[in-house]
Structure 1
Amino acid sequence: MNQPAAKGQGSKVTSSSIPPFGIKDKIGYLLGDFGNDFSFILVTAFLMVYYTDVFGISAAAVGTLFLVARLWDAVTDVLWGRFIDSRKTTQKGKFIPWIFRMSFPLIISCVLMFTYIPGMGEGFYLAYAYVTYILYGMLYTSVNIPYGSMAAVISGDSVHRTQLSGWRTMGAMMANLFINALAPLIVFVDNELSANRMFMTAAVFSVLALACYMGCVKLSRERIVNPDRQPGAGVSIGQTFKALGKNKPLITILIASLLFLMCMLLVGTINVYLFKDYFGSASTMSIFGIIQAAAVFLMMPVLKPLVGKFGKKEIAASGMLFSGTMYIVLYLISNISLTMFLILNGIGLLGFGLFNLVIWAFVTDAIDYQEYLTGEREDGTVYAVYSFARKVGQAFAGGLGGYALAIIGYKEGAPSQTEAVQDGIYTVATLVPGIMYILVFLLVFFVYPLNKQRTNQLAVDLAEKREEK
């Protein structure tokens, strides 16, 4: 017999034979993003320099590739989310089976991206990059959309969902620490990227990603079951997007996420060149990766009391203001030493960590607000729309990195870069994120409508509407 709907969720709860929400779910959900980021962070950090220095593709051409591929991914995100919402629930759930099925081809596509076939022409390498990168993006979508949507059905309790958001971010940061700390020590030989080592690293990380996905599938449990709709039932696509247009929390956080992700990926792309060409030490990326992960880990214990006292909106906005200010300070310091750069950057990353930990909780609020507007839960579709914005951010970040390198005069394969190019790299790595983080602060603080009081009121209003159904 089904139990009453859990608080924060209008759908029914599955059989009580399934264990209650607990540590296994948290670890399982952490492993899901750990698996995602084994490939995602590897691609973010090294694919641009792999294409320019190994394939010999120009930075501008790579920027165009990233832009085209990410925009196509943004479209497939929405299509896949709608597709998942329309599927029937199996004994294993609605989302878990898709993670299991699609993780195998995903990890194969990651290895193919970093496969170098010597002796071919520039046209072949560019075509090969387009095919393998776009294929990877589509397969990544097929795993990430059900994974992200799954948080809403693991538990209906809002506290549990907030915990899942934190554990997900911890999984991403663990992957970030593992890859950024270890990979630069492996893939660079005499400050140059090695094609063979890059391939082996991608293969090993792909196997580890598959193990993480299997752990996610094994440990996670879907407890909330959305009733399967009959053809023509539920909310039409037109009604869904009409409501999305009125969902101010979602629209605001979409724009903020787009700016934040553009900045994060731009920094991830340009930092390879910053440490390799400006500071002359590509291996220092390992130290930076440790510092970035440590900033998030340090913020995790204080997140719950800070959000409980001040609210998600207020904490997230403050974090962005702090980080943006620190990046501008870095830009203003001329002839900075590598040690001082790492120290000041690490301090600024504390604000980055706060925002990064809170962001997924904003998405949950936006999903709840969509239910308030339509009366229906559309977790997969709403999450896919959010992912759409993130993919647009990836598209422009990838393109922006390539175009920025081209504008400042970066020479692919050159043994060294001119002083003007090095200074340009430093400007892109500091001033640009400083400005973008300040813009995110202004957007969240002055435009996002759900402060602490209004978020609590939304929960009350939803509970009343569910009682009336």
Structure 2
Amino acid sequence: MANTTPSPAPAPVKRPFGLRDKIGYMFGDFGNDFTFLLQSMFFMLFYTNVVGINPAHVGTLLLAARIVDGFTDVGMGIIVDKLPVKSGKDKFRRWIKYIMIPVAVASSLMYMSFVADFGSYTAKLVWMCATYFLWGSICYTAINIPYGSMASVISASPDDRSQLSVFRSTGGALAQMFIMAVMPMIVYSKNEAGQAILDGSKMTLGAVFCSVAAVICYLVCYFNVQERVHEGDNPADKKQEEKHSIGEMLKAVLTNRALGGLIAAALLLLLSSLFLLGMVGYIFLSYFNDGKLQTAGALAGLVPPLILIVLAPIMAKKWGKAEVATVAMLSAGAVFIIAWVLHIKIAWLWIVFYAVGSFCIAIFNYLVWAFITDVIDYQEVVSGYRDDATVYSVYSWARKLGQALAGGLTGWTLDWIGYDSDAAKAGAAQLPEVLDKLYMLANLLPGVGFVLVGLALWFLYPLKKKIVQVNVVELESRRAQVAAQQTPVSASGNATTDQANQQIPDSAPDNQSNGKNV
């Protein structure tokens, strides 16, 4: 009887990638943005207009928190990449189950209206800083890094990943639609003088509702997404992975040219778009004196881009993600610069410009998460190691830095133009010259920023359509070679029957690749 080489226990067969994964992944970002966008849109307004904190102090907190995130984000990425995972088990999905409750609780704590009654300004600052660090630097990091990295292991196909990116952005758009369209109707009211104000107690209830909704969304994600691209069980692969030290990992990631170009574009995008998002509340509340108009603005800016669920993958496949995003961002910049030149006084006309600009921004936003999976592939091509979570964590930190700079810039520029938070808290109107400068900030600065995003994508980001296709072919070739080397062979030179019987349908990504190459 011929001797055969024993084959390892096969990994569980996963169902093929499909709509269930895309919807599940969409709900993950729906959950993320119930707290992330709530913070982007209402955190500064709550602490300036309800609690009475100086805008510059809020901005300084946001910037300081991002410095801390430089350590917590990358640290979380390293933990996720280095923490042992049993054969066939999920590397990223498990973190959603562990962290969804803590991140929801931490978010709610940031908007407690009783903080406004603290007798000490210092006590108010301490509460603001402590709850923000708990949410942003610890809890949100611990769930967002694994969630974002998970896209690269749900499927190995670039087209599938583009669809995941679109569905993820759709989830974010749905959360943004609720927060921008529904929340203003809940949290804004008018005082006896007819001045629009933010109601602190209603803000607290709204924040708690968003936290509960976030947990529900995370549960939908957890139970509907599957990881299909797993690290291999070959002992030689594991030995090679152990030699890949943390220092080598960080060096490889930080010298990744594609990641550098994407980070530059992401910094400018987040700085510009979140600055705009932060200013929108002030524009409607102070410039147009009607906070509830924000609902109409949100719907105009968010509903038309939903067509991109269908169009974005088609455009990316035909022309390339980077090429499409470049044109979109240059167009967005032009729209907001024109709005500044016209100095619009009619709210509904400004909403039209805002809607057109938002549509252009959404094109990049709907595809941006597929950019990072292309960068992870590029990392594997040039270094031989994938380092999904570490690459994503560096990118995530850059996005958070853009968020912080946007928040800081919002606070500092409001202070610079003379925005009176005491008057806002008392329900009084701002001075006319302050309102004119407020309009300039909300249009010109984002417009210039969006133009710079387009230029960064074109000149600094190397992964245009042809290069992405070359990388995909290269990685498929490497995986095929590894699979051939790992196929157990009998004494007669034939693959064992057991191995032949463990094939997974062609529509599902390979589960048998080694840990280095997938």
Aligned to 1:80: 76
Asked if 1:210 is matched to 2:215, the reply is yes
Contact 2:284/2:290 (8 A) holds in 1: yes
What TM-score, normalized to structure 2? 0.85
Deviating more after overlay: 296-305 vs 129-138: 296-305
Aligned to 1:195: 200
Aligned to 2:163: 163
Map 1:334-413 onto structure 2 (within 5 A).
334-413=343-422
CA distance in 2, matches of 1:370, 1:332: 43
Aligned-partner SS, 2:421: coil
CA distance in 1, matches of 2:405, 2:312: 30
Aligned-partner SS, 2:242: coil
Counterpart amino acid of 1:271? Answer: V
Residue deviations 1:245-304, cap 9 Å, x none?
432111000110011011111111111111111111111111111122124212332222
Counterpart amino acid of 1:209? Answer: A
Map 1:379-458 onto structure 2 (within 5 A).
379-414=388-423, 415-458=428-471
Aligned to 1:147: 147
Deviation, 1:45, is 0.6
Q: Residue 97 of structure 1 is aligned with which of 94, 97, 107?
A: 94
Contact 2:188/2:197 (8 A) holds in 1: yes
Deviation, 1:232, is 7.1
Residue deviations 1:201-252, cap 9 Å, x none?
1111111110111111111111221247469714222222332343211100
Counterpart amino acid of 2:76? Answer: W
CA distance in 1, matches of 2:461, 2:227: 31
Alpha-carbon distance change, 430 to 14 in structure 1, aligned in 2, over 3 angstroms: farther
Aligned to 2:126: 127
CA distance in 2, matches of 1:289, 1:302: 21
Deviation, 1:467, is 4.3
CA distance in 2, matches of 1:436, 1:144: 25
Contact 1:235/1:374 (8 A) holds in 2: no
Contact 2:167/2:309 (8 A) holds in 1: no
Aligned to 1:330: 339
CA distance in 1, matches of 2:443, 2:304: 18
Alpha-carbon distance change, 329 to 13 in structure 1, aligned in 2, over 3 angstroms: farther
Instruction: Select the structure of larger CA radius of gyration.
Output: 2
Contact 1:405/1:425 (8 A) holds in 2: yes
Residue deviations 1:19-55, cap 9 Å, x none?
2211211111011000011111111111101001111
CA distance in 2, matches of 1:388, 1:234: 26
Counterpart amino acid of 1:131? Answer: A
Where in structure 1 are there 5+ consecutive unaligned residues?
A: 1-11
Aligned-partner SS, 1:50: helix
Contact 2:113/2:203 (8 A) holds in 1: no
RMSD: 1.8
Aligned to 2:64: 68
CA distance in 1, matches of 2:239, 2:471: 29
Asked if 1:110 is matched to 2:107, the reply is yes
Contact 1:38/1:206 (8 A) holds in 2: yes
Aligned to 1:9: none
Deviating more after overlay: 425-434 vs 63-72: 63-72
Counterpart amino acid of 1:197? Answer: K
What TM-score, normalized to structure 1? 0.94
CA distance in 2, matches of 1:14, 1:165: 30
Counterpart amino acid of 1:25? Answer: D
Counterpart amino acid of 2:372? Answer: V
Counterpart amino acid of 2:373? Answer: T
Contact 2:55/2:421 (8 A) holds in 1: yes
The alignment of Structure 1 onto Structure 2 pairs a total of residues equal to 458
CA distance in 2, matches of 1:107, 1:280: 32
Deviating more after overlay: 335-344 vs 258-267: 335-344
Counterpart amino acid of 1:423? Answer: D
Alpha-carbon distance change, 461 to 19 in structure 1, aligned in 2, over 3 angstroms: closer
Deviating more after overlay: 99-108 vs 243-252: 243-252
Aligned-partner SS, 1:192: strand
